[in-house]
A and B are shown apart, each in its own frame.
Chain A
Amino acid sequence: MSAQPIANPYLPYEAEIVERIQETPDVFTWRLRFVDEQLHQQYEFQHGQFNMLYQFGVGEIPVSVKNREQNLLTHTIRVVGRVTKAMAELKAGHRIGIRGPYGRGWPIQDCTGKDVVFITAGLGCAPAISAIQHVAECRTCFGRLVIMQSVKHRSDMLWQKQYDEWRQLPNTQVLLAASREKTNWPNWERGRVSVLFEDAIYDKQNCTVMLCGPDGMMSGSARMLAELGVPEEHIYLSLERNMQCAIGHCGHCQFGSAFVCKDGPVFSYPEVKEVLGHRGF
């Protein structure tokens, strides 16, 4: 049998960093363009999906797609490990590898006519941004839009201007909380994201809730929402686990029976309830 090149689902494509934005001391955003123009035009993603980003000689990491702005693909990255530390050094004009998009995104298509509630914490807001934008851009397609975001300190808040703009939209509520803030600020509550639940106005029987943040925040919130009367199957959450292949082969992202990379990262609450919040999963 002769050797031949094969289709390879692991193969990334080259992309250029068009712009680099330092969001906070340890968070930066890349705006990217695939080097292959045709590929760049064809690239599509669902809200909540992720890409594998590759730095030459260093490695690959999964990062959720923030959105597509001015026809550029946007990723926001927190500097935390070996690969992201190296990525933080790259500048506009440098090139990376991208493969994707992967996984199952938010169930936006099922939200038409219903109230839509986003509950996010910290950088957990990034995977929800494009979905929020989608709902914000068509306020009449959906019921109420409720956005709840919590951070540790007010200064950790990303994209404040964007949230202020959303606040002005009809039928829309933006609620913010800071858990370690000592001072009272207008439009801010002090405490964890759950302190906002009481002020949120939406039809609990006819809504879709989308959660993204640390596991504890998501399992706690999902439990409280269910107690408040939101049907469990209307609660969705986006999980994060070690992902190396992104196609359900490498086994690292297993969460109970699910492969987070291909069965998620977005799950309905009943799908993961059995092990969500359980130490070791």
Chain B
Amino acid sequence: MSRSGFLQYEKFNQLFSQLQSAGYGCVGPSVIDGAVQFGKISSVAQLPQGIELTVKPGSVRVAKGDHQRYFAWPNGAQGIKPWLYRSRELLWRAEQTEQGFVFNRPEVNAEPIAFIGARACDLAALQLQDLHFMYGDYPDPFYSAHRNALFIVGVNCSHTGNTCFCASTGDGPEIQSGFDLLLDELDDGFIVRFGSEKGLKIFEQLELTPVSAEGHVDAKAQIAEVIAAQERALLHENMHANIFSNLDDREWDSVAEKCLACGNCTMVCPTCFCHREVEVQALDGKSSQHIREWDSCFNQDHSYIHGITIRDETRLRYRQWMSHKLGSWRDQYDRTGCTGCGRCISWCPAAIDFVAEANLIAGDS
């Protein structure tokens, strides 16, 4: 285990000022529109201190809690994904010339960002997005630029949500790797560790005191409590084989009766990567932008091909989402595409329980 130090609440804002001095813009959680959302923030004052976040299928509620903690809630509405794989990105622009047109490459303004409050499920998802966008045959220049400019402040979860199941996927609640700095929040401050050289540089600038023996024990204990408190567990060992041998299972029909095919689950999923390419022509007709934006396998035109929609029923689209996430993802990236964050359950307007459905359709009975 790397060196650790204790950062008292009164000194917490040093983290912000040191990251800012190092050239990072800080991105962190705040309560916005009744949910915990990540945005650009400049100080600890904007963090969701003393709140209680209650999540359950189809419901997310923020209330005032009886504590002074900053991260006493399971996870935010989105993971790190929107900051690297942007919901809308200009790929290129075609400009008309006398004879034809030219293609102009956009400049990528990869502003260095410090993401404060990444959870274990989000860091596991980040690794999957890295594999998809950065380590294939065609590294994505946009994702890579944002990714390389990212500083990660991870936070070990001290509270679980009703929809969380990271312990069963093996991704949380304790962060194992992938952070620059790591925080364990206790009642009066944070145990701080570093996981990289750039993390060490900030670590050394903080006014830290030694961590008490009780502090280490308390940090371990609250992680153990989160594991014990998780009510859902994905039984994912044989899901690949089970899903692909149950493609005509009747349960696909019953889940499709509830599913609105709205795509909310895919929008909040930290690993979903589908996007469409769209053309936006200027009003004067002289230039045209080629843009990519997030798409969802729940959209009818996701599977459109020369006049045919391959997945023309919600049943087939729900099956595509689950069979990819828990089945074929394993062939593509050596593990499932689910890191147990539970957002797809919390943000489903029909309160569909992804874990229960998966265990029913694909679990070992």
Contacts and interface: CB of A to CB of B under 8 A. Distances in A.
Interface in A71-104: 78, 80-81, 94-95, 97
Interface stretch (B4-12, B174-182, B219-227, B272-280): B272-280
Contacts of B83: none
Interface string A225-246: 0000000000000001110110
Contacts of B285: 57
Nearest to A244: B277
Contacts of B132: 249
A60 to B, nearest CB: 7
Contacts of B311: 280
A244 B278 CA distance: 9
A56 B290 contact: no
Contacts of B276: 244, 250, 252
A57 B137 contact: no
Summarize A's interface: helix, strand, loop or mixed: loop
Contacts of B108: 3-4, 6
A262 B137 contact: yes
Contacts of A14: 100-103
Nearest to B101: A56
B137 A6 contact: no
A35 interface: yes
A8 B141 contact: yes
A5 interface: yes
A97 B108 CA distance: 22
Nearest to B288: A57
A279 B149 CA distance: 43
Contact of B307 (A5, A59, A81): A81
A278 B331 CA distance: 19
B107 A5 contact: yes
A191 interface: no
B209 interface: no
Nearest to B278: A59
B277 A60 contact: yes
A233 B302 CA distance: 31
Contact of A6 (B94, B105, B304): B105
B144 to A, nearest CB: 8
A279 B316 contact: yes
B281 interface: yes
Interface stretch (B63-71, B109-117, B155-163, B355-363): B109-117
Summarize B's interface: helix, strand, loop or mixed: mixed
Nearest to A84: B306
Contacts of A94: 100
A238 to B, nearest CB: 14
Contacts of B141: 6-9
B273 A251 contact: yes
A107 interface: no
Interface in A14-45: 14, 16, 35
Contacts of A240: 305-306
B159 to A, nearest CB: 33
Given A1-B112, A9-B141, A10-B91, A59 B279 contact: yes
Contacts of A97: 94, 101, 103
Contact of B305 (A5, A11, A16, A241): A241
Nearest to A55: B279
A104 to B, nearest CB: 11
Interface string A41-68: 0000000000000101111100000000
B295 A251 contact: yes
Contact of B306 (A9, A16, A81): A81
Contacts of B313: 280
A252 B295 contact: yes
Contacts of A275: 244, 247
Nearest to B95: A56
A247 B137 contact: yes
B292 A254 contact: no
A1 B102 CA distance: 27
B238 interface: no
Nearest to A279: B316
Interface in B75-108: 91-92, 94, 96, 99-103, 105-108
A80 B267 CA distance: 31
Contacts of B290: 10, 54, 60
Contact of A78 (B106, B277, B306): B306
B277 to A, nearest CB: 5
Given A35-B100, A248-B137, A280 B310 contact: yes
Nearest to B99: A95
Interface of B: 91-92, 94, 96, 99-103, 105-112, 132-133, 136-142, 145, 149, 244, 247, 273-279, 281, 285, 288, 290, 292, 295, 297, 302-307, 310-311, 313, 315-316, 319-320, 324, 327-328, 331-332
5 contacts: A14-B100, A56-B288, A241-B303, A247-B137, A262-B136
Interface of A: 1, 3-14, 16, 35, 54, 56-60, 78, 80-81, 94-95, 97, 240-242, 244-245, 247-252, 254, 256-257, 259, 262, 274-275, 278-281
* 10 tightest A-B CB contacts, nearest first: A95-B100, A280-B316, A251-B274, A257-B331, A257-B328, A247-B138, A3-B107, A57-B281, A6-B141, A10-B91
